[in-house]
A and B are shown apart, each in its own frame.
Chain A
Amino acid sequence: MNESSPRHVAGHVPVLRLGDVLLVTLQGDLYDSAAQQLQQDLAETIAHSRVTGVVIDISGVEVVDSFLGRVLAEIAAQAELLAARTVVAGMRPAVAITLVELGLSLPGLRTALTTEAALELLDRPIVTPRSGGRRQESP
Chain B
Amino acid sequence: MHTAAGAEARLPIRSDMDLVWVRQHVRQAAALIGFGLVDQTKLVTAASELARNTLVHGGGGQMEAARVSEHGTEGLRLVFTDTGPGIADLDRALSDGYTSGDGLGMGLGGARRLVHDFEVVSSPESGTTVRVTSWVTRPPRPREES
Contact = CB atoms under 8 A, between A and B. Distances in A.
Contacts of A62: 27, 41, 44
Interface in A32-90: 32-33, 62-67, 69-70
A136 B24 CA distance: 39
B20 A9 contact: yes
Interface residues of B, number: 31
A58 B2 CA distance: 29
Nearest to A9: B20
B110 A95 contact: no
Interface of A: 1, 6-7, 9, 29, 31-33, 62-67, 69-70, 92-95, 97-98, 101-104
Contact of B41 (A95, A103, A104): A95
Given A31-B17, A62-B41, A65-B52, 17 more contacts: A6-B17, A9-B20, A31-B16, A31-B20, A32-B19, A63-B27, A65-B49, A67-B48, A67-B52, A70-B104, A92-B41, A94-B37, A94-B38, A94-B40, A95-B41, A97-B41, A102-B110
B42 interface: yes
A31 B38 CA distance: 22
Contacts of B52: 32, 65, 67
B21 A32 contact: no
B114 interface: yes
A103 B96 contact: yes
13 contacts: A6-B17, A9-B17, A9-B20, A31-B17, A33-B16, A63-B23, A63-B45, A66-B103, A69-B104, A94-B38, A98-B114, A103-B96, A104-B104
